Structure 1
Amino acid sequence: MSELYSYTQLVSEVGSHAERLAFIDFKLRFTGFIRRADLKEEFGLAEAAATRMISLYREYREENLVHDRSNKLNVINLEKYTPLIPVGAEQALGMLAHGFNKNKLAGRPILQYRKIGVVKNQLDVDEVARITRAISSEKAIECCYISGSSDKHLPRDLVPLAILYDGKNWIFRAFDRSETKKYKFKNFNFARATKVKPIEQDDGSIFQYERLSEDTLWNTPLPLFLELHNELNDEQKASIRRDFGMLPDEDELYLTESAALVWILTKLWNIDVGNPEESDLFFKFSLKNREMIKPYL
């Protein structure tokens, strides 16, 4: 197996080129391809310089990529790919969402930082990469999924479409081909998807009705009219106002959220939606327009 380099080791060998090699490796692994245009967009490299950088990457990982002449890009060689540098699943998802960041790879925060409640091996980086490559290439996958609301644990066919982060869990939105109900777009937790593999040949291609543009809930913004919960004392209300950027005399908060994500938000923000089974829970807000929102909860 080819040697796995730390980012620091790579810098010691190739200097400033380390960031570019790391970017190529990252793009290959988590999107499935790298184009010279990607290097131009990320680093401002001219076409000739981008070509040289891909050639330098080949010196380290010759078998990781195959040139696709018809599409003028380099694609991952899944049978031979081995990472050049280690990238954690959360690191990768964060960079896919917010952009490539060499400081994430080097482990050099600008200020002292620590994540609370680190769970080792919560996400399998290889499973995550199979899902994110499917999003990038607009392909379907087969996987097993451990659902908290269903006993359906048989393999299912999904079309992953987007990534989400709720501050606790990494989630992907997908079209569930295995679902028998009318509405088939759902949210899936990355950590619960196992035995992920791409669906080959024509069955892996995405259909128009499976695209995110056809996801009615995803594309429907809902207004949420929130009010500080009446069981809060004055000190609690003052703290929550600060937490949510409210004025000192404000009791109401108005926002819009995708209909596909409203349920998640009510749990994250401790919003009372009038469910009798949750009457003993601590709530920060009441949902004033609950009748309007109820069909989406």
Structure 2
Amino acid sequence: MTEDQTERRRRDLEKLPRVQRERLSHIDFKLYFLGELRRSDVVARFETAPAGATRDIAQYKEIAPENLELDNVTKTYRITPNFTPLFEHSPQRVLTALSQGFGEGIGEPRQPLVRCEIQTALSLPKMSVLAPITRAINLGKAVRLAYTSVESGRTERELVPLALVDIGLRWHVRAFDRKRQQFRDFVFTRMDTPTVLDDSPVLKEETAEYDVQWSRIIELELVPHPTHPRPEVVLMDYDMPEGVLKVKVRAANAGYMLRRGTVDCSPDHNLTGPEYALWLRDSLALYGANNAYLAPGYKDPRAESPDKSNKPL
């Protein structure tokens, strides 16, 4: 496709209302990832009238006529060899949709769009716990709850939730702990009966802007592990055209990310095993990140014992 055609497509899309662009994006998704589209797909997804779905498909075909062709026997639109996606589709959203569907139907289990298998989550928050926390984040409020930690057992806490964090194995919330007067990570499954405090103002020093670990962005340079038998495979797996994968991550989440990715963070790449495909080229990049001790093989140059002040309570 020429630059002129791409620019024409962009201009044509910008003229349309956002709701129609969403419907055209769904048409694009169906053709791109499933290879076919029926009018009923648009009707079911957006609960629109058949005539409206017909107009949307016609609009899509007007903008990108080379992308689809109608099979008159089955009344199904098929992808063409000349297909070029009309929209940029986020890989994470695409994989979520393919594996879990679009969630049509209130309370109904979501069905995958293609045959697939996803890992069963071993730890998920209760909705009665999650909802007050997300309300507090959105409204800028504090919460009162009971929290059970490894260190202190069950105690009453007042937290100012700042953000949700998915570390792969579980979800936690980044929050300011009024009891300890510091920002920490709190695991959802250890919370009980959180209540939003409407009459307890949040101070500026309790907000995300004052969380140094959250605000600090670290750039990590990951390379194929020097002992890996097939470094060319690692380059393919992680899309490293120049041999380096540069990742930007919050200091508060760096240790979690490196542990989840099984990245060897030892200075002399001394961790061995097939699970270590990547090596952190400069471990000093983690200097000052409170949860760096979670990173496989990391050694804090400041002390013999690791700083665990960011450890989830």
For the superposition of Structure 1 and Structure 2, which TM-score range results when normalised by the shorter chain?
0.5 to 0.7
Distance 2:248 2:124 in 1: 31
Give the whole-Å Cα distance in 2 for the aligned partners of 1:175 and 1:104: 37
| Contact 2:121/2:169, CA 8 A, preserved across alignment | no
Q: 2: CA distance between counterparts of 1:167 and 1:243?
A: 19
Sort the Cα spacing of 1:151 and 1:233 in 2 relative to 1 into closer, same or farther, 3 A: farther
Q: For 2:128, which of 112, 126, 129 is the aligned residue?
A: 126
Who is 2:30 aligned against?
A: none
Q: Deviations over 1:243-280 (max 9, x none)?
A: 31123xx543222211111111111111222289x956
Verify: 1:258 aligned to 2:250, yes or no. yes
Distance 1:115 1:186, change over 3 A: same
Corresponding residue for residue 196 of structure 1: 194
Where 1:213 maps in the other structure, the secondary structure is helix
Separation in structure 1 between the aligned mates of residue 247 and residue 222 of structure 2, nearest angstrom: 8
Whether the aligned pair in 1 keeps the contact of 2:137 and 2:163 (CA below 8 Å) is: yes
Considering only aligned residues, what root-mean-square deviation do their CA atoms show, in Å?
A: 3.0
Equivalent-residue separation in structure 2 for 1:102 and 1:265 (angstroms): 28
Pair 1:141–1:263, CA change in 2 (3 A): same
**TM-fit CA distance, 1:174:** 0.9
Deviations along 1:168-200, one digit per CA (max 9) or x if unpaired, are: 3222211111115xxx12222222222322335
3-state SS in 2 of match to 1:241: helix
Residue 242 in structure 1 maps to residue 236 in structure 2: yes
| TM-fit CA distance, 1:113 | 4.5
Q: Percent identity among equivalent residues?
A: 23
Q: Which runs of 5+ in 2 are unaligned?
A: 1-45, 47-95, 97-101, 293-313
2:120 corresponding residue in structure 1: 117
Alignment-derived partner of residue 272 in structure 1: 264
| Aligned twin of 1:84 | none
Contact 2:132 2:195 in 1 (8 A): yes
2:216 maps to which residue?
A: 220
Alignment of 1:70-85 (within 5 A): none
Q: Which secondary structure state, in structure 1, belongs to the residue aligned with residue 214 of structure 2?
A: coil
CA distance in 1, matches of 2:137, 2:193: 17
Distance 2:277 2:179 in 1: 37
In terms of Rg, which structure is larger?
A: 2
Q: Which residue of 1 aligns with 2:173?
A: 172
2:284 equivalent to 1:291: yes
Q: Which one has more relative contact order, counting CA pairs under 8 Å at least 6 apart?
A: 1
User: Could you tell me how far apart the structure 1 residues matched to 2:105 and 2:180 are?
Assistant: 38
Q: 1:252 to 1:275 in 2, by over 3 A?
A: closer
d(CA) in 2 for partners of 1:217 and 1:262? 10
Provide the rounded CA distance (Å) in 2 between the counterparts of 1:104 and 1:287. 45
**Do the aligned residues in 2 keep the contact of 1:144 with 1:155 (CA within 8 Å)?**
yes
TM-score, structure 1 as length reference: 0.54
How many angstroms apart in 1 are the aligned matches of 2:210 and 2:125? 29
Q: 2:114 is matched by which residue type in structure 1?
A: L
2:153 is equivalent to residue 155 of structure 1:
no
